[in-house]
Structure 1
Amino acid sequence: MAASTEKPPDDEPGDGVSRLAFSRTIDWGIGAVLWVFGTLVALSGGVLYASSSSAVVTAVIRNGEFESEVLTEAEAIDILVGLGQWGGIGLLVTGVLLVAFGVTVVVVHGRVRESDEATPAWVLGVAGAMVSGLLSFIPFSPVIGGGVAGYLDSDQSASGLGPGMLAGVIGSLPLLTITVFAGFGLFVRIPADLAPAAAALLALTVIPAFLYFIVLSAVGGYLGARAQNYWRDA
């Protein structure tokens, strides 16, 4: 009887070991979640920008019986307008980035599947970052997201740190993007004598948050890779 020349499915190589982290269905699932969430974030940015006019902020400040020993009412209004408008732009940009990541995962992983290559580490990072985001209500969720990225890595000799760290970097991008834009809006409106204190406060907020994502995701990636090796050898 003639030998079969039928080609194995793209995500099931002939040696029985898949080099792809997940199926095409999951590609589309990741894309759909990022598209929906990114669209909602972008829309919220547009709403925030539109509602941050001087008239609206002035009404809010005056209705709230504003009191401050540091800022005058006019300075407070100016700062809040800057924060709201530039924060809205930051949300809009973040939403666009999330949608772009979703599209890129679907397109790039589809091409990788057709060429029978391994899933790129950055795609694992996107998957891990999305898990971290969806489970953000759980303390130390970046460990879980990084663990997913490390566990899905087809390179059995890898430590998992790379995909885990990428999950942390990608997961922190929304926070960093919004902070950069909102920070710009703050510094163009804040009185010069308050700028150093504001910069220090911003740094003390952003740097620990960034390290939180990176370090915990890297730890998760390492643990995920070890778990993969354990279940493979068991």
Structure 2
Amino acid sequence: MSSAIIDEETVVQNREEQAQPLSRTLDVAISSFLVLVGGIFGAAGYLLAGFADVDRVASWVASGRITSTEMSDLELIDAVYALIWGSGVSLTLTGVMLVVAGIAFFGFQTRARRRFDATGIVSPSTTGNAILGAMVTIVASFVPFSPVIGGGVSGYLNRGSDSSAVRTGGLAGLFATVPVVTVFAVVIWSLLGSATGLTAIIVATLAVSLMISVSYMVGLSVLGAYLGTHPSFVDAFSDAE
């Protein structure tokens, strides 16, 4: 056997060792987790939206449970109702998107695995890995700079080139912002019904916060993906396993 053939086999073997599809068991577990969490979010949002009632909020204002020195009673009732209803709707939409993400993740990973089994060519699912990275970011949201972790996972699984991994990390960051964008968008939209000076300030503050949050999550996810595809990071990760 020539050295060229040996070198080619070594390259193929190393490539397969570097980026093989996840196991079916892990795919099922991740998909089930996303669907379960999505169902919980959807149910909670549905109940919260149903709990929003103008008469109930009016009774809170009349009894003094909710007060404001900047709004009239009618404006306060509208604003509080909009916040409750908007939060419920945003949670419901987030739940639906998580369920869809779980189903999509399983589909993309299954297709990547079938391609690998049929051809032996390693072709990681960019979208599937991005969804997984986004899920890691959301789950680890209590950890400082969690998008770096999610981006690192997606970049590590989609490694092969810096551009491919970084693109996957950016996608993971965008996917992770979807629940945040949904919550902000629905709450802002619901608040627009009570057009007061204070409401305008709140909406403007929320809009600026949203832009900062999206930039933060996408930027750190890209950084994490770059680190995840970097050789030294990959070696350290492999040694830890």
Query: CA–CA distance in 1 between the matches of 2:232 and 2:38?
Result: 31
Distance of aligned partners of 1:204 and 1:132 in 2 relative to their CA distance in 1, 3 Å threshold: same
Residues 13-39 of structure 1, C-alpha deviation per residue, up to 9 Å, x if partnerless?
x94333544221221121011011101
Aligned to 2:223: 219
**Is 1:182 the counterpart of 2:187 in the alignment?**
yes
Structure 1 residue 193: Cα displacement: 4.3
Higher share in helix:
2
Superposed structure 1 runs of 4+ greater than 6 Å apart: none
Contact 2:115 2:123 in 1 (8 A): no
Q: For residue 165 of structure 1, what is the aligned residue in structure 2?
A: 170
Cα deviations by residue, 1:129-180 (Å, 9 ceiling, x for unpaired)? 1111111111111111111111111424546321111111001100101211
CA gap 1:177/1:230 in 2 versus in 1, 3 angstroms: closer
- Given that 2:108 and 2:127 are in contact with CA atoms closer than 8 Å, whether structure 1 keeps it comes out as no
Give 1:74's aligned residue: 74
Q: Is the 8 A contact 1:160 1:223 kept in 2?
A: no
Q: Which whole-Å CA distance do the structure 1 matches of 2:28 and 2:82 have between them?
A: 38
TM-score by length of 2: 0.82
Q: Which residue of 2 aligns with 1:200?
A: 204
**Unmatched segments (≥5 aa) in structure 2:** 1-10, 117-121
Distance 2:35 2:133 in 1: 16
97-106 or 194-203, larger mean C-alpha shift: 194-203
Q: Distance in 1 between matches of 2:233 and 2:53?
A: 56
Q: Partners of 2:162 and 2:179 in 1: how far apart?
A: 31
Unmatched 5+ stretches in structure 1: 1-13
- Summarize deviations over 1:24-67 as a string: whole Å, max 9, x none: 12211210110111011101111110111112222333444443
1:1-234 counterparts in 2 under 5 A? 15-16=12-13, 17-18=15-16, 19-116=19-116, 118-156=123-161, 158=163, 160-188=165-193, 190-194=194-198, 196-227=200-231, 231=235
Contact kept, 8 Å, 1:132 with 1:145, in 2: the verdict is yes
Question: What amino acid is the match of 1:191?
Answer: A
Q: Deviations over 1:118-138 (max 9, x none)?
A: 122121111111111111111
Contact between 2:45 and 2:87, CA under 8 Å: does it hold in 1? yes
1:11 is matched with none
SS of residue matched to 1:155: coil
Identity of aligned residues (%): 29
Q: For the aligned residues, what is the CA RMSD?
A: 2.4
TM-score computed with the length of structure 1 as normaliser: 0.84
